[in-house]
Structure 1
Amino acid sequence: MKIISTNIGEKTAIDWKGKTITTGVFKYPINEPIFLGTENVLNDEVSDRKYHGGIDQAVYGYSLKHYDYFKKLHPNLDWQLGMFGENLTVDDLDETKIYIGDTFNVGETVLEVTTIRTPCYKLGIRFNDSNIIQQFWNTNMCGVYFKVLQTGFVKVGDIFEQLKSYPENQTIAEVYEAKRVAKGM
Structure 2
Amino acid sequence: MKIIAVSVGVPAPLNTSRGQVLSSITKHPVTGRVQVSFGGLAGDQQGDRSVHGGANKAICLVPSEHYPRWSEFLKSASLPTAFFGENLTTVGVSERSLCIGDVLEVGTTRLMVRSPRLPCYKFVARAGRSDAARFMLNEAMTGLYLSVEKEGEIGAGDAIRVSAPHPDRVSIADYVDAMMQKLPSERVEKILRNNALPDDRKQLLVRRIEARYDGSV
TM-score, with length taken from structure 2: 0.80
SS of 2:176 mapped into structure 1: helix
Name the structure 1 match of 2:59.
59
Structure 2 segments unaligned to the other structure (5+ residues): 182-208
Provide the rounded CA distance (Å) in 2 between the counterparts of 1:99 and 1:70.
Answer: 23
SS of 2:28 mapped into structure 1: strand
User: Is the 2:17–2:121 Cα contact (8 Å) retained in structure 1?
Assistant: no
Map 1:88-99 → 2, pairs under 5 A: 88-99=88-99
Provide the rounded CA distance (Å) in 1 between the counterparts of 2:167 and 2:25.
Answer: 32
Name the structure 2 match of 1:172.
172
Task: Give the aligned length.
Answer: 185
Structure 1 segments unaligned to the other structure (5+ residues): none
Name the structure 1 match of 2:161.
161
User: Is the 1:99–1:167 Cα contact (8 Å) retained in structure 2?
Assistant: no
Provide the rounded CA distance (Å) in 2 between the counterparts of 1:50 and 1:125.
Answer: 19
Name the structure 2 match of 1:81.
81
SS of 2:69 mapped into structure 1: helix
Provide the rounded CA distance (Å) in 1 between the counterparts of 2:16 and 2:119.
Answer: 17
Question: Which structure carries more helix by proportion?
Answer: 2
Q: How far apart are 1:98 and its partner, in Å?
A: 1.2
Quick check: 1:2 aligned with 2:2?
A: yes
Percentage of matched positions with identical amino acids? 27
Instruction: Kindly provide the CA deviation profile for residues 155-183 of structure 1, in whole angstroms up to 9, marking residues without a partner as x.
Output: 01000122100242411110111123322
TM-score, with length taken from structure 1: 0.93
Q: How far apart are 1:137 and its partner, in Å?
A: 1.6
Farther off after superposition, 54-63 or 174-183: 174-183
Provide the rounded CA distance (Å) in 1 between the counterparts of 2:34 and 2:28.
Answer: 12
SS of 1:104 mapped into structure 2: strand
Name the structure 2 match of 1:141.
141
Provide the rounded CA distance (Å) in 2 between the counterparts of 1:95 and 1:115.
Answer: 10
- 2:214 aligned partner, one-letter code: G
Name the structure 2 match of 1:184.
214
SS of 2:133 mapped into structure 1: helix
Name the structure 1 match of 2:200.
none
Q: How far apart are 1:17 and its partner, in Å?
A: 4.2
